[in-house]
Amino acid sequence: MKCLLLVDIQNGFCPGGHLAVPGGDAVVPVANRLMAKGGYDLIVASQDWHPADHGSFASQHDGAAPFTMGTLNGQPQMLWPDHCVEGTEDAALRPDLDQSRIDTIQRKGLDRTVDSYSAFRDNDQTALTGLSDLLRARGVTRLDVCGLATDYCVKFSALDARAMLPEAHIRFIEDASRGIDPEGVRTAIDEMTQAGIAVVTSDTVLSETRV
């Protein structure tokens, strides 16, 4: 059972969005090819879905600027621009993403008191989204992860998949992902590799389905 996890391919993380990842829109055609020709049995898309007063927003901290460190619920927290607020266009999946092929949308970041990079659980690792239960119930044995952003939500989703689905083979699709900071991307890939996550390209994935 092969699953593709598309992480946060939303307007907010693409050019013109409130927390744009450089070149974030470039992942869309790659993701569409993977969905159409990658031979996946299950396709899941995660979606940041924050309340307007989410505590990770710099606007919720007096005098704080985006992209500075603060605290949230007593823990260190990167403070972000307001982004992907539930029900807004910024939170919507990219319109050019072929959503007709997506089987399940997993929303995250609904609790204003904790940030949620991973599609599997909140950053404090207490509240689960239910995605791991879904993948286990479906008997997923290979999970390919890609999307936005490599150095945050993609990395944490892949690492949590490795920890929570020990029976599955986890892969990171590099060219179907983009990151915020080049050094952060390099570090993220190193972390994933050290955790036993394979780094592949979309060509590798598509070659496996060619006859």
Per DSSP, the residues of 85-130 read BTTSGGGSBPTTS-GGG--EEEEE---TTS---SSSB-TTS-SB-S
Measured CA to CA, the distance from residue 174 to residue 199 in angstroms comes to 7
Radius of gyration of the chain (CA): 16
Catalytic residues: 8, 108, 153
Rounded-to-integer distance, Cα 151 and Cα 186, Å: 8
At residue 187, the 3 state secondary structure works out as: helix
